[in-house]
Amino acid sequence: MKKVWIALLAPPAIVLFVWLCGEVVMHLWNWLLPMLFGWHTVTFWQALGLLLLARILFGGHGMGGPGGGGGPKRWQKRKWDRMTPEEREKFRGRYQGWCGPEAASQQVSESASQQGSQSAG
C-alpha cells in the first residue's frame, strides 16, 4: 500500500520541485544580474538550463547517497579492507607524519627553526 502512495505522489512532487527550482533560479538571476552586471534576463527554460549546467559542472550527480556510487571514500575503504595487517602497517609507516597532530607539531617546529636560522644569518 505504501508503494502505491509513493508511486502516485512521486511524479507530481518531482515536477513541482523542478518547477520551483527553475522559478527560484530565474527570479534570482533576473533580480540580481541585470542590475549588477547589465546582463540580460532569462526565461524559465533558460533558468532550468542554467540549473542543469551547474549540476553537471559542480554537482555530485547524486552518487554519494545510500546505494549510490560512493566515490573515492568507499573505494578507499574497500582497498583498506582488502589489505593484510602487514600491508596496513607498511601504509601507515609510509604516510606517517603527513597529517594529524604529529604533522602539525612537526611543521611548527620546522618553521620555527627556519625563522631562527634566517634571523641568525
How far is it, in rounded angstroms, from Cα 99 to Cα 105?
A: 10
The answer to whether the beta carbons of residues 51 and 22 sit under 8 Å apart is yes
Domain boundaries, the chain: 1-58
How far is it, in rounded angstroms, from Cα 33 to Cα 38?
A: 7
Tell me the pTM: 0.49
pLDDT in tens, the chain (121 residues): 778 888 888 999 999 999 999 999 999 999 999 999 999 999 999 999 999 999 889 886 555 554 455 556 888 888 889 999 999 888 888 877 777 666 556 555 666 666 665 655 5
Q: Specify the length of the chain in residues.
A: 121
